[in-house]
Amino acid sequence: MRRWIWIAALTALACGGGADGGACFEDSDCPSAQTCVVDVPTGVTVCLEPCAEDGTCSDGRACNDYPPKEVTVQGVLRLCGRP
Amino acid sequence: MRRFAIAMSAALLGCATAQGRAYERAELASLPLRSVAIHVASAAPTESGPQLAIDPLPPITHTATLALATTDEATRAALADAVRAELEAKGYAVDALDAGSVAETRSEADVVLAVRVQPVDRFFVSTWSDEERERARLAVSTQRPPMGPRVGRLMVGQAYAFDRRTGLRLWSRDAIDLPDDGWLHPDSALLAYGVVGARPPERLAVEAARAFVAETFASFPAARAGDKRTRAALDAIDPEVDAAMLAKVDRTRWQIGVDTGWSFDTIETRVEGIGDGVSIDERAIAPAGTFRVTPRFDVRFPGGVTIGAGLALGIAPGSFGRGYVVGDRGVRVAFSAPEHIGLRAAVAYDRYLSPSLHVRPGVGFFIDGWRLGADPRGVVEGDAVARIGALAELAVLYDVADAFFVLGGARGRAGAVPRGSLSLGLEGFVGIGVAP
């Protein structure tokens, strides 16, 4: 039983890169049009789709805004779902 | 950082402020040595201006004519007596050489020793005090010290010992401690190769010869029974191959080249705008390492000391992009092919293993930096990461022709970025160059 858990875990890791919502290290590990996002406190990474310009998400998920702390830092991260 | 750079520069320059050739064959330590045939020659004394501008005598080869264009019999006789006394004190049976070159001798001596000098009877020594000189050194001054004329006799000379049977050079000292820039100060090592102060001509010749011989022959081995296996090993060496190698060792070589390499370095910056900021490292900035092209310039001095410098231009291929989220704050950062520039300077010891193959271990310092090219630009702590530190390298060079070489090697770096964190790097490189 334990062996099958390991095999399943390794298979998930091997096949997870590139899958929607899967673990990633950088953008190129994700399907095109998705971005790799890390939740800094936990270190968990996940591929998420950026919101469309009108603030909608193609899969119906909610669009979340993650503005930077300082206004001098450019760019607002807008993601469909949460990491 | 500036003080460190100045100190390293001074250290590198300090390694190159004395010219001269010193050579000692490894087999000399156990070679049977009992008798010496000597040839001594002295050029006519000369006088120097404030800057000691003496053309060193050409290196002596075993086929070269030993006689000089000018002669001074009193100096030659005093020097011959001093050399004979020194060698007899070391246990040798000493004879005068019976020929005009090492190759022509019919002597049965183990060693043929040729000694030639250029006496300098008027020269200038700095009148600066130690304190004034130290002050000028710390200020990295280019001001020349005031010079006072001195009489006496300095002996700029050479001594070459050859194996009589094979003609191989065993040991040599040539223009040792002659200052590169020609400026003498009170503690210049060259002042020990002679005497300072007026003396009657006979005393001048004798005292200067004794001083020159004491300094020059301090490292000359004493007579001994030695090891017959070393004798056999020496007999197996091809004299022509050996002479070709020593001809390269004896002359100053300027080398201009270019090397290309791949380096991996620890680089760090911070993504701002979320929480207390997030540290990101080389896995994001240069995940595939950095490709560098380095025009290089080296000078190899006789004896093997080499100083060199290079300007590295590089790029870290690949791209990286990722979003960072802390609570309800977030930023996205991307890096695309960060650019790199670096300057290095090193001092090395170049050692020929064969007439074509030589190795060059060295140490030095570097200053370099990356322009990260972060997008958006303001999202990281600074768009440039700079560091300074020390390096150690090992290069292997192969002389394809007399004026053309190829090289390969590795270089390790340890440095600090301005915030003080340690940065490490490792680089492998290959290159080509010319030695005009």
Average pLDDT over residues B39-43: 96
Q: Is the pLDDT of residue A12 over 60?
A: no
Determine contact, residues B35/B111, Cβ cutoff 8 Å: yes
Q: Is the pLDDT of residue B272 over 90?
A: no
Q: Is the pLDDT of residue A57 over 60?
A: yes
Distance in angstroms (rounded) separating the CA atoms of residues B36 and B109:
5
Average pLDDT over residues B152-161: 95
Q: Quick check: B281 contacting A, CB < 8 Å?
A: no
Query: How does B88-108 read in b/e, with b if 16+ C-beta sit within 10 Å?
Result: eebebebbebeeebbeebebe
Chain B contact set for A68 (CB, 8 A) = 272-274, 329-331, 379
Range name among A34-48, B52-66, B79-93, B120-134 with the lowest pLDDT average: B120-134
Distance in angstroms (rounded) separating the CA atoms of residues B197 and B210:
15
Q: Tell me the ipTM for this assembly.
A: 0.75
Per-residue pLDDT tens for B362-393? 999 999 988 988 888 777 887 788 889 999 99
Q: What tokens appear for A37 in the block?
A: 């996002």
Determine contact, residues B102/B62, Cβ cutoff 8 Å: yes
C-alpha dist (Å) from residue B373 to B315, B333, B337, B376 = 11, 10, 7, 9
Phi, then psi, of B126 in degrees rounded to 5: -55, 140
Which among B344, B331, B335, B333 is positioned nearest to B282, based on CA atoms? B335
Average pLDDT over residues A18-42: 80
pTM flag (> 0.80): no
Determine contact, residues B45/B71, Cβ cutoff 8 Å: no
At B148 the pLDDT is: 76
Mean pLDDT score of chain B: 87
Q: What tokens appear for B33 in the block?
A: 């040595």
Distance in angstroms (rounded) separating the CA atoms of residues B364 and B392:
7
Q: Is the pLDDT of residue A14 over 50?
A: no
| Residue B229, C-beta contacts closer than 8 angstroms, at least 6 positions apart | none
Q: Shortest Cα distance from B339 to chain A (angstroms)?
A: 20
Average pLDDT over residues A55-59: 85
Distance in angstroms (rounded) separating the CA atoms of residues B349 and B395:
10
Average pLDDT over residues B76-101: 95
Share above pLDDT 70 across residues of chain B, in percent, rounded to a whole number: 91
Q: Greater confidence, A50 or A68?
A: A50
Pairing of strands B374-375, B329-336: antiparallel
Decide if A66 and B284 are in contact by the 8 Å CB cutoff: no
At B420 the pLDDT is: 66
Q: Is the pLDDT of residue B317 over 80?
A: yes
Window 5-64 of A, Cβ < 8 Å to B = 25-28, 35-41, 45, 48
Q: Give Cα B46 to chain centroid, integer Å.
A: 29
Helix axes B201-216, B73-89, angle to 10 degrees: 40
Decide if A66 and B325 are in contact by the 8 Å CB cutoff: yes
| Residue B380: DSSP 8-state | B
Q: Is the pLDDT of residue A4 over 80?
A: no
Where do we find the tokens 């049976």?
Answer: B93
Distance in angstroms (rounded) separating the CA atoms of residues B181 and B126:
13
Which among B258, B343, B348 is positioned nearest to B295, based on CA atoms? B258
Q: Which residue of B has its CA nearest to A39?
A: B325
Q: Which residue of A has its CA nearest to B279?
A: A40
Chain A contact set for B273 (CB, 8 A) = 68-70, 73
Share above pLDDT 90 across residues of chain B, in percent, rounded to a whole number: 52
Range name among B17-26, B80-89, B210-219 with the lowest pLDDT average: B17-26
Q: Is the pLDDT of residue B285 over 90?
A: no
Q: Quick check: A67 contacting B, CB < 8 Å?
A: yes
Range name among B14-18, B235-239, B258-262, B428-432 with the lowest pLDDT average: B14-18
Query: Which of B112-116, B139-143, B252-256 holds the top average pLDDT?
Result: B112-116
Tell me if residue B231 falls in helix, strand or coil: helix
Q: What tokens appear for B69 in the block?
A: 């264009």
* Helix residue ranges per DSSP H, B219-359: 228-235, 239-250, 282-285
Distance in angstroms (rounded) separating the CA atoms of residues B414 and B424:
5
Q: Greater confidence, B272 or A8?
A: B272
Handedness of CA B219, B34, B92, B165 (dihedral sign): negative
Phi, then psi, of A10 in degrees rounded to 5: -65, -40
